[in-house]
Amino acid sequence: MKQLKKTVLSMAMAATMVLASSPIFAEATGEASVKAAAEGTIAKIEEAVGLAEKGADKKDIVKAINDARQLQKEFRYELTERQRQKSNDKLRIARDTFEEGDKTAAEAKLREALTGYKEMKETYDANHK
């Protein structure tokens, strides 16, 4: 009977250790979501720039900018946080400027924001190989 208790207790401890250590072996999903947010943000800004160059409807351009602003919220990395805030401000200014009708100034702000996000992604990629 003593041997059975020891065996059961040992198996229970082994099972607990396996369950507790499984998060260690799990894939880093946080990095994947940050990378996806970065790529999505850049793609949406490029879409907005492309729409602006083609002379698309203001509503479509503003929608692409708003989509980029939503995606950038997930693009969090400590080393680039201040740059993310500045680039987001540029997106906001670009959106407001498009709504006011000043296409040239808005397009310039979009390009500045795009440059900022590309730099941020390069920094993130360099530190997450």
Per-residue pLDDT tens for 50-100?
A: 999 998 888 999 999 999 999 998 888 888 889 999 999 999 999 999 899
| pLDDT beyond 80 at 44 | yes
**Residue 127 pLDDT:** 87
CA distances from 9 to 5, 14, 16, 17, 22 (A): 6, 9, 11, 12, 20
| pLDDT beyond 90 at 17 | no
**Residue 3 pLDDT:** 78
Summarize the confidence of residues 40-46 as an average pLDDT.
Answer: 93
**Residue 9 pLDDT:** 64
Q: State the pTM of this model.
A: 0.73
Residue 95: closest CA among 107, 81, 84:
107
Q: Where are the domains of the chain?
A: 31-127
Summarize the confidence of residues 31-35 as an average pLDDT.
Answer: 85
Which fold would CATH assign to domain 31-127? Four Helix Bundle (Hemerythrin (Met), subunit A) (1.20.120)
| pLDDT beyond 90 at 20 | no
**Residue 115 pLDDT:** 94
The answer to whether the beta carbons of residues 62 and 95 sit under 8 Å apart is: yes
User: How far apart (Å, rounded) are the C-alpha atoms in residues 112 and 45?
Assistant: 10
**Residue 28 pLDDT:** 55
